[in-house]
Structure 1
Amino acid sequence: MSKKIVFFFSLILFTTVMLAQTRPWQGKFEPIDNMITPPNSYRTASGAPGKAYWQQRADYKIKATLDEANNTISGEETITYHNNSPDDLSYIWIQLEQNVNKKGNEDFGAFFNSIKDSINTRQMQLLTRAIDFPAGYTIKYIKDANGNPMTSFVNNTMMKVVLKEPLKSGTSLSFSMAWSYPVTDRSMFFLSREGYEYFPGDDNAVYLIAHWFPRMAVYNDTEGWQNQQFQRLGEFALEFGDYEVEITVPEDHIVASTGSLLNGSAVLSRAQQERLKEAAESFDKPVMIITKEEAESNEKTKSTKQRTWKFSATNVRDFAFASSRKFIWDAQAVKLPTNTIMAMSFYPKEGLPVWKEESTKAIKNALEVYSEATFDYPYPVAISVNTSNIGMEFPMISFNGGRPKNGKISDRAKAGMIGTIIHEVGHNWFPMIVSSDERKWMWMDEGLNTFIHQRTVAERYPQFRSTTPKSIVPFMSGDKNILRPIMTTSDNEILTQFGNNFYMKPTVGLQMLRNSIIGPELFDQAFKEYSNRWKYKHPNPADLFRTLEDATAVDLDWFFRGWFFTTDNVDMELTDVKWFRVNEEELNTKDQKKTVKLKIEGENISEKAKDFSSGPESITMTSTPDTSYGGFLSRMDEPELRKQLSGKNIYVVTIKNLGGLVMPVTIEWIFTDGSKEIETLPAQVWRGNEYEIKRTFIKEKEVSQVNLDPNFEFADTDMRNNSFPKVEVPSEFDAFKSKQQ
């Protein structure tokens, strides 16, 4: 090796070491293999379930009674648990979510609020529980298939049942339980997903009955038993199964439920049955099953008799219902390529007129757009029930807030109501069918669902504002001391941040992948592939990440690493734009080779230019020495190269990465004649230097303005440094910044 070569490599090594001391390499393009669960025979490296994939199953037979006079519900259930795992189980775990309401239990109150000089009474109740109330399960018995008592231990919202003999791999176990609990007043709780809502005007209630029966916890290949306690924020991880459910309620109540109604002739009037038949053939508008006048008449008396409604549901992971004598009920049919669904809405008169006008329409829109984006909705019904404040999802049924005041509703509130219905109906796909663990990875259901929810709004309600990359700017430019990565378990997120981190940020990330990084056609294929691979199964984050790469042939590890695993933000600075123009002047040299000087058309600039007013700078282009070609005998056509560059404008752009996130670079060129051109550099341009890049461009026309991210595709948190020459920040961006501050 020659001394020159040794010196050359020594210089590179020295430069690299010095650069590392000031700007450490962060490996933004390294694989994320060490950050996600490794592939195995259960979950493949492609992101698909493996040949050995397994999951447990739990079938339920439940009989329950709602006692309206005492606001209690009691029930008996038989669970048949199928051990499809390769393991023998010496005990099982059952979820008891109603225990979260017990006094002394872990609660949101102290976490969400603090004493201050002015505090309202509801906040004080959340903090102190000064008005106490009964809550939580009473377990009357738990018996095996032979009627013998089983040993159990309750730990907060989980119950361990010790088996006399291990449950062998490939076998099943049946056991029964009896239980009861007080149904709580929803107004007493923050983030209350169930309970009753009382209406003083007519002395009636709407009962939302959810996470109401003891349910099997998930046992899977990645964590064994899911044993995180229920603390209201992190929701549910559940097994699929078949349900047979009998619900006994006051005779004048109407029940909306998961599943198919089996005894409609016994619980519905002849007129209601005929109207349902009519609705099953009405594809253009809803049919009233119970009218406002009929519901108001029903409110006036309270029956002391009871009636039992019977439902069945196949291959669902949960079961919920709503019951009230206040319900108005409408329904219509929705035709999909492989299925016809009954879309239904149940609402008290307080929801009129907007619920009659919009709820079932919103269900229909959600069913159609989600089915197109993933797979056809597989269940027979999709139900929206009106309640106060919340939106909450269960298989085939959702509880949705949004009500007019005195019959009137603002455009903003109406948009919020419709968005809530779309969102909660959409949860039937994520996580009710593509069944991720909400207790652990809230973003996998909320983020993916919000992504398609926003697509539904954009396509079916273009007059409403939908989430875009601009929406996440205030959050991503916030205080890094309190921000968390998306890859944070549900209950560890700060309450004031979880909406942005688990809903909006994953949504914006998927929008970037679809619209700007992969492209709609290929991304949509990949997203549909993920949805179909994992329907009725339990995917983890690694399965989503791998599938999106596998089905697109796009290396996305850099994106997943930055967007999901860090709190970095996008902030690209257009540091400098240098302008050169090529005009040939032949100069004779000693060896008679050509040298081309790039003619100055303005004064040579010693300081960095602030605009293009000084004209282009000069450089010198010499002929290529023979040694540069190494062993190649052929030579570049240098006269042709000079010809191609003659009279052209050369622009050298310097861009700095101030926020930490690497992203594609979209550049808008505005020319002096008013025309525009946009070109995009892939994120891989940052591979060599994660902090700063320089790129050279040739343009026929002179440029008057250069802008980064002109269409705001990548959530750049500071647009003030995105232009050359500098321009004022758009007023819309200022509004986002002021909101954040």
Structure 2
Amino acid sequence: MRRINQISTLVLLLTGTAVFAQQNTDQSKFRQMGTEFPTANTYRTASGAPGESYWQQKVDYDIKVELDDEKQRIMGKEVITYTNNSPHPLTYLWLQLDQNVVHPESDTYKTATNKLGERVSAGQLNGMLDNSFDGGHKIEYVKDITGKPLKYTIVKTMMRVDLPTALVPKTGKIQLQIGWSYNINDRQNPALGADSRGGYELFPEDGNYLYTITQWFPRLAVYDDYNGWQHKQFLGQGEFTLPFGNYTVAITVPSDHIIAATGALQNAKEVLTADQLKRFEEAKTATKPVVIVTQAEATEKEKTKAKDKKTWVYKADNVRDFAFGSSRKFIWDAMGVKIEGSPVPTVMAMSYYPKEANPLYGHLSTEAVAHTLRVYSKHTIPYPYPVAISVEASNGMEYPMICFNYGRPEKDGTYSERVKYGMLGVIIHEVGHNFFPMIVNSDERQWTWMDEGLNSFCQFLAEQEWDRNFPSNGGQARNIVGYMKADKEVQNPIMTNSESIIRFGPNAYTKPATALNILRETVMGRELFDFAFREYARRWAFKHPTPYDLFRTMEDASGIDLDWYWRGWFFTTDNVDISLDAVTEFRMDTKNPEVEKPLASKKSKEQLERDVTYQNNKRDIAATAVERNEALKDFYNTYDPNAPAPTDKDRYEKYIASLGPKERAIIEAKKNYYQLDLSNEGGLVMPVILKFEFEDGTSEIQRIPAEIWRLNDKKISKVFAFAKPVKQVILDPQEETADVNVENNYYPRRPIPSRFEVFKQEGFTRGASMGSNPMQQAQQQKKTNGSN
């Protein structure tokens, strides 16, 4: 039975005149991005590439730092060499003092909003009110290279250093000396850990600490062509915007500590044992991770706790930051990775972790690091640094060549799928940050999505190459639907400053990652997208891009106008809700009496059978007069007006002869014609993807570019012709556009299962269990069976 709208007759006009619907001339969804984009100039071109006058500052650091394991304190002194490559004279420099985010007078505490319920835990209450920690940078001195004091002014998380004479444009250079210290915060304290990013973790069982030392030294803010000084205060969400430079860092710690740090270790023979050195050399050519510091060695050091000290020296070139981890608890493994096109012959993928993270971390972490480097290098640029490190530290944060992640099993060594895939996801994500923003160095303080969103997109690609069943959270269009259809009061456009985002995760991570994946899979296609995305990474590697450089490069390298896409996905909170309002079948009037008259007769009989009076009379009238008396019948009782007459064939032959070859071809094709009427309910224009299911059980998908909406972004109609009759039409059949309402995606409409019914049908999402640990249950069952 036909389930499409009633059939309308399509009469073929001999003149071939096309008929156009009345259209709305409002083209606002497709107008070019004019005022939203800054004017191109010699620094940043209209193509999205750096211009001939592009410049950026350079900052080199020579740092000596000591970690006090007794008092959990950092003491450091540094020599900063600042090179002014800008065309402007500079009379002062701005430095970031990010540790001040945990100062008792921090604006982060003052501006935090919170509420009390009827029940509140001590931890929650302390998180709201406790700002007693003596945190923040304590500046001991700021001097020039000769030792002469320089005037400085601390403004919350920033410090301005006034220069005695202006730093001349393009060639000016100055060296500063700064001494400082600060108390290391407890990273597990909810009032201190998230905003500071680093800190310490105490292991009560053995009384040892694991340190992640981040945002730890006074460091230069960025001065660039589009911001001037980027000295927006650090309140906790907007992360770090930093210039590139070379680092030499000497780190003094207890002699039994192992250091993981940005850069290459310079004095391995002084700080490692002969066995550890030998294992490290073996790791360079190994096909699987080699353990350099064993669990047995680390466990023994946990008991002895050396009192003497040792200094580790690291160097890192062309990086924007430096971080390190330190602990006597560290197990360390490594393996060499060959990256095609990399300037480094062998990149060392390495992991550092306490025994509490084994066996999970030792089994998977370094392999995940190597996998990430390979996949990201394929989609961006070859990884250029000598090392990439994953440190298990019960959190997640990224720095050049090093990142801190979580991934601890139960004490019996078992773990759930959720823990496993959560660990893999965070390692891929944080290692991936080496590319965005550590190499492609975007302004995180202004646009979190420029590093988190792009990185989450590449993370999705890497996860899918790790395991076909990887339970990725970002990338698939369906995963962002809940956020996009949420109340507009809790949404911001992606192009919102980092500190003003209401729902940080969906806005800065998932939505931009999904937008990029939809661009790749649905709008541009993989070939064009991948070429343009690699070009963006190549152009802006070791430079400071803006969103507009990304937008322009993607269009410039692909040849596709994407202004409508940037506007809808990045500058508004519109969502995708395209409604398939109607499907009307049109049947060609062939004029052939042997075709048309039987159809007309059938239609007439069907109409009569549907008539309520006719049906009731069949029931209530036993016999009509004609049925009772045959004599009343005449010619018209047997005459069928829809039966072909002898003269009909002559008229049909004359009609066919009057047609041109184009018209005859249309009639001979015997197509079924369908008009689809669609409306844009959500406001965000997107390609129209249609699946036609035919009565013979086959189907066909047709993809129509978003430009179909360019003359009317509210309502459109489109005609299709098929050799087979259509049974049903489905809009966005593979759920690839993030359409927030699938109920209007079917014609005829079909019932959509409720959330409860979906749960019954599909069960829980893989990797998203609420603490279930089948590995542990299997081991317990094995023990039980063994004891019987």
- Name the TM-score, length of structure 2 as normaliser: 0.83
CA distance in 2, matches of 1:262, 1:57: 23
Answer whether contact 1:329 1:346 (CA < 8 A) is retained: yes
Partner in structure 1 of residue 613 of structure 2: none
The amino acid that maps onto 1:266 is E
Partner in structure 2 of residue 620 of structure 1: none
Question: 1:26, CA displacement in angstroms?
Answer: 6.4
CA distance in 2, matches of 1:602, 1:271: 92
Question: 1:604, CA displacement in angstroms?
Answer: 12
Question: 1:159, CA displacement in angstroms?
Answer: 0.3
Alignment pair present for 1:382 and 2:385: no
Question: 1:461, CA displacement in angstroms?
Answer: 1.8
CA distance in 2, matches of 1:708, 1:603: 33
The amino acid that maps onto 2:325 is A
Partner in structure 1 of residue 115 of structure 2: 114
CA distance in 2, matches of 1:80, 1:368: 34
Alignment pair present for 1:310 and 2:316: no
Identity, % of aligned pairs? 48
Partner in structure 2 of residue 481 of structure 1: 489
CA distance in 2, matches of 1:637, 1:119: 84
Give per-residue Cα distances to partners, 1:73-129, cap 9 Å, x unaligned. Answer: 011100000100000011110000001101121226863632211112222111101
Change (3 A) 1:365 1:91: same
Answer whether contact 1:234 1:439 (CA < 8 A) is retained: yes
Partner in structure 2 of residue 354 of structure 1: 360
Question: 1:484, CA displacement in angstroms?
Answer: 0.4
Question: 1:218, CA displacement in angstroms?
Answer: 0.2
Partner in structure 1 of residue 514 of structure 2: 508
The within-5 A match list for 1:199-210 is 199-210=203-214
SS state at 1:425 partner: helix
CA distance in 1, matches of 2:717, 2:36: 31
SS state at 1:322 partner: strand
Partner in structure 2 of residue 399 of structure 1: 404
Change (3 A) 1:698 1:248: same
SS state at 2:154 partner: strand
Change (3 A) 1:65 1:602: farther
Answer whether contact 1:90 1:165 (CA < 8 A) is retained: yes
SS state at 2:565 partner: helix
The amino acid that maps onto 2:312 is W
CA distance in 2, matches of 1:447, 1:97: 23
SS state at 1:359 partner: helix
Partner in structure 2 of residue 671 of structure 1: 694
Question: 1:147, CA displacement in angstroms?
Answer: 1.2
CA distance in 1, matches of 2:598, 2:269: 91
Change (3 A) 1:599 1:30: farther
Give per-residue Cα distances to partners, 1:107-157, cap 9 Å, x unaligned. Answer: 268636322111122221111016x22111111110012211101100000
Larger helix percent: 2
CA distance in 2, matches of 1:46, 1:289: 48
The within-5 A match list for 1:490-501 is 490-494=498-502, 497-501=503-507
Change (3 A) 1:735 1:441: farther
Answer whether contact 1:108 1:190 (CA < 8 A) is retained: no
Answer whether contact 1:585 1:597 (CA < 8 A) is retained: no
Answer whether contact 2:102 2:133 (CA < 8 A) is retained: no
Choose the corresponding residue for 1:471, options 461, 479, 483: 479
The amino acid that maps onto 1:489 is N
Change (3 A) 1:602 1:554: farther
SS state at 2:30 partner: coil
Answer whether contact 2:238 2:448 (CA < 8 A) is retained: yes
Alignment pair present for 1:260 and 2:264: yes
Higher relative contact order (CA 8 A, sep 6+): 2
The within-5 A match list for 1:534-549 is 534-549=540-555
SS state at 1:198 partner: strand
Answer whether contact 1:581 1:598 (CA < 8 A) is retained: no
Choose the corresponding residue for 1:287, options 281, 287, 290: 290
CA distance in 2, matches of 1:54, 1:690: 42
The amino acid that maps onto 2:165 is E
Partner in structure 1 of residue 173 of structure 2: 172
Question: 1:387, CA displacement in angstroms?
Answer: 1.1
Alignment pair present for 1:657 and 2:680: yes
Answer whether contact 1:138 1:180 (CA < 8 A) is retained: yes
Partner in structure 2 of residue 611 of structure 1: none
The within-5 A match list for 1:58-77 is 58-77=59-78
Answer whether contact 1:94 1:214 (CA < 8 A) is retained: yes
CA distance in 1, matches of 2:60, 2:43: 23
CA distance in 1, matches of 2:451, 2:284: 31
Partner in structure 2 of residue 273 of structure 1: 277
SS state at 1:35 partner: coil
- Name the TM-score, length of structure 1 as normaliser: 0.89
Change (3 A) 1:356 1:602: farther
SS state at 1:481 partner: helix
Question: 1:644, CA displacement in angstroms?
Answer: 1.9
CA distance in 1, matches of 2:253, 2:173: 32
Answer whether contact 1:109 1:127 (CA < 8 A) is retained: no
Answer whether contact 1:529 1:551 (CA < 8 A) is retained: yes
Partner in structure 2 of residue 219 of structure 1: 223
Partner in structure 2 of residue 570 of structure 1: 576
Answer whether contact 2:27 2:711 (CA < 8 A) is retained: no
Change (3 A) 1:324 1:639: same
Alignment pair present for 1:145 and 2:145: yes
Question: 1:402, CA displacement in angstroms?
Answer: 2.2
CA distance in 2, matches of 1:738, 1:158: 50
Change (3 A) 1:109 1:118: farther
Partner in structure 1 of residue 742 of structure 2: 719
Bigger radius of gyration among the two: 2
Answer whether contact 1:298 1:326 (CA < 8 A) is retained: yes
The amino acid that maps onto 1:224 is G
Choose the corresponding residue for 2:704, options 681, 689, 695: 681
The amino acid that maps onto 1:344 is M
Question: 1:727, CA displacement in angstroms?
Answer: 1.3
SS state at 1:265 partner: helix
Aligned length: 679
Partner in structure 2 of residue 29 of structure 1: 30
Question: 1:190, CA displacement in angstroms?
Answer: 4.8
Choose the corresponding residue for 2:525, options 515, 519, 522: 519
Choose the corresponding residue for 1:231, options 230, 235, 245: 235
SS state at 2:451 partner: helix
Answer whether contact 1:584 1:599 (CA < 8 A) is retained: no
Change (3 A) 1:602 1:704: farther
Answer whether contact 1:98 1:135 (CA < 8 A) is retained: yes
Give per-residue Cα distances to partners, 1:14-48, cap 9 Å, x unaligned. Answer: x88xx79xxxx460000112102211000000000
Change (3 A) 1:27 1:637: farther
Answer whether contact 2:193 2:199 (CA < 8 A) is retained: no
CA distance in 2, matches of 1:651, 1:473: 30
